[in-house]
Amino acid sequence: MFFDKIDYYKNYVVFEIPPSIPPNGEKNIILINDVFGQVVATLSIKNQKSENQKLVWDTRNIKSGVYLYTLKAMGFTKSGKIIISK
């Protein structure tokens, strides 16, 4: 399982990463792109112990719209969409 959950708040999105995804330098990341393919954020998975890691995407300066996330970890890729509504 890549995410335990994704929480949406007014000004940020939180990705909860389980400890089963080990840190691997810059190879374990979440890329967030707009619908035109421009990278708007990169979140890195850091060292974690036995608890879930929370990666926060600050959306205060992001326009409303559809964004695509791609998690790259342990040789796997998972993609999905996020809708920001303000």
Other beta carbons less than 10 A from residue 22's beta carbon: 11
Query: Which pLDDT belongs to residue 58?
Result: 94
pLDDT digits (tens, 9 = 90+) for 24-47: 555 788 999 999 999 999 998 776
Pairing of strands 29-34, 39-44: antiparallel
Token reading at 73: 């970890």
What is the C-alpha end-to-end distance of the chain, expressed in Å?
A: 30
DSSP state for residue 78 in the 8-state scheme? E
Domain that holds residue 11: 5-84
pLDDT digits (tens, 9 = 90+) for 74-85: 778 889 999 998
Domain count for the chain: 1
Average pLDDT over residues 52-78: 89
> Residue 11 sits in a domain of what CATH number?
2.60.40.10
C-alpha 13 chain-centroid distance = 8
- What pTM, to 2 d.p., does this model score? 0.79
Percent of the chain as helix, strand, coil, to the nearest 5: 0, 55, 45
